[in-house]
Amino acid sequence: MVIDDWALSALPGVDRDLAQAGAVVVRCYQRLPSPAVLRRLPECHGVAVLGGPDLATLRDRLETATATLAAPVIAALPPGQAPVAELRGPGVVDLLPAGTARAAERVALMAWVPIVTGGSPRGAAPRPVQQGRPGPHPAAAELRSPVPSEPGLPPDLVLAIASSTGGVWVVAALLQGLRRRERAAVLLAQHMDAEFVAFFAAWLGSVTPWPAVVVEDAAPLEAGRLYLAAGGRDLVAEPGRVVALPACSRYVPCADRLLGSAGRVLGARALALVLSGMGADGAEGLAEVGRRGGRAICQAPSSAVVPSMPEAALRRWPGAEVVAPEALAAVVARGA
């Protein structure tokens, strides 16, 4: 992975921590990393961590990088700069505020997002996921082994997740720590551009024990599976199945629609979880799950890159459990 000087100043010690974890770290100075450098690195470590002295410079650097680099990009924010929507463009897989705790862990995790551009101009078709990539993610040895699931077995618990800016790494860490059960399923509404959904699903399937299903039209709701809607569509729970429908709001996929449908269809078998993100998507859906007798959980706003979504959900349903990311898997498992 390549880290520039501005990112290193915003995330002191991250290069040392990554090196101690066994990552290949290449330092670049106040210019964009060369695509040739990234090509020489093992593909699984081809990630660029970029910063900037101010918001305008960082935005310009990210736009240039995501249009030219065949790798995902992580933005390290200048000191005092809050995450803003304009930075979460195509190809930017995470935003790290200056001084982020456990930054190296998040960078290492995000380095395993499959390559989503081919060094071609923005808007071009992404490269297909590579087969036969190098060995497992360093955390893979710690994953709890999957539990075999009988095909077609209906779940007795469904975890419906609302996630946006800053939530990707929380989703991955949660699924890494949450043992697959024969009678549980996960439905995920992760706000992202349509072109990245297939790669995101492949990545989650590779770094967690949960096989990912991208729903194009409809699919049976089976235990032991992780479901996402195809790009540009909403995921909706129906009796015995999940369906992908045309997007209904500016939030795509719409978390309110997913969580609300899970509450109406599954009642007490639904568990709603709202993670980091901008806006209020997921708040009404979480409240619907609570009203229908299901469990409602929010990421602790103080731990979120962008606290707006969990804060809105807690205002709408004050009885929701408030949980830090590192404790989510254990808390969710209590009801599994």
Catalytic positions = 164, 191, 281
Compute the distance between CA of residue 286 and CA of residue 316 in angstroms, rounded to an integer.
8
Find where tokens 């007795």 sit. Answer: 156
Compute the distance between CA of residue 332 and CA of residue 271 in angstroms, rounded to an integer.
8
Q: Is 164 strand, coil or helix? A: coil
Of 293, 266, 265, 314, nearest in space to 162 by CA: 314
Phi and psi, residue 34, nearest 5° = -75, 135
Two tokens at 334? 């209590």
Q: Are 182 and 336 in contact (CB under 8 A)?
A: no
* Angle at CA of residue 273, ends 269 and 276, nearest 5°: 170
Please give the radius of gyration of the chain, using alpha carbons only, rounded to the nearest integer: 19
Written as one string, the DSSP assignment of 84-146 is -GGG--TTEEEEE-TT-TTHHHHHHHHTTSPP---SSPTTSPPPPPPSS-SS--GGGGGSPPP
- For residue 63, the surrounding DSSP H or E stretch is helix 55-68
Q: Are 185 and 212 in contact (CB under 8 A)?
A: no
Find where tokens 């809105």 sit. Answer: 312
Measured in whole angstroms, the distance separating CA 221 from the mean position of its chain's CA atoms is 22
Q: Which residues pair with 188 in a beta bridge?
A: 161
* Angle at CA of residue 54, ends 53 and 60, nearest 5°: 100
- For residue 36, the surrounding DSSP H or E stretch is helix 35-40
Q: Which residues pair with 161 in a beta bridge?
A: 188, 273
